[in-house]
Amino acid sequence: MSYVNPDTEDAAIEQPTIALFAELGWETLNCYHENFGPLSLLGRDTPADAVLPVRLRASLEKLNPGISPLAIEIATEEMMKDRSAMSPARANQAMYKLLKDGIKVSYRRGEGAEEEEAVEIVKVIDWSSPGNNDFLLASQFWISGDYGKKRADLVGFVNGVPLVLIELKASHKRLELAYEKNLSDYKTTIPQIFCTTPPSFSRMVPKPGSAA
């Protein structure tokens, strides 16, 4: 058995945090060695993907029984859409509405004289019965943007959508500097991760007893 230093950031903070999420019923995965493409651990084509398409699609199918597969596919594409050209506030606002109210999907169905436009609302999250949702906590989660690649400590996904971002810091690191060097940097380097993580859900968590 390899020795794990109990004073390291991983042992002192990250592992207990992961254990807490597991106790709450979240599936947990260490994604440090995640590959991409057909054999991806999380179903991502590239590290630029902030939403997990396989988990998202499976959740949409589960939460919307009887809805057309085409509507599910359109809804999946809407959630995966690149919103990097939008301001962070606008992108977050747009995604919040989709998460809260569902995705309004329009498509053509039928053939010939019977062809008609169909409109359906695809639910993304079951707010009334939380147990129907899929909860995943990914540790050491790689994500890339136009200005580089970053590795977030913990990202919490609900139905494949990142809703929680947690950055953990050891006791000898000032929380103020950690904010400036990590979270603020992430907003510039990997803005897509913030489209669905409201500011109140993004956390910089110090080790107990650390200087703020």
The answer as to whether 119 is a domain residue is yes
Q: How far is Cα 203 from Cα 188, in angstroms, rounded to an integer?
A: 17
Per-residue confidence at 10, pLDDT binned at 50, 70, 90? low
SS3 (DSSP) at 43: coil
Cβ-based neighbour number of residue 197 at 10 Å: 22
The answer as to whether 71 is a domain residue is yes
The answer as to whether 212 is a domain residue is no
Two tokens at 103? Answer: 């995705």
Cβ-based neighbour number of residue 69 at 10 Å: 9
Residues forming beta bridges with residue 120, ordered by sequence position: 105
pLDDT tens profile 109-168: 767 666 788 899 999 999 999 999 999 999 999 999 888 899 999 999 999 999 999 888
Domain count, the chain: 1
User: What percentage of the chain carries pLDDT values higher than 90?
Assistant: 55
Boundaries of domain holding 153: 9-206
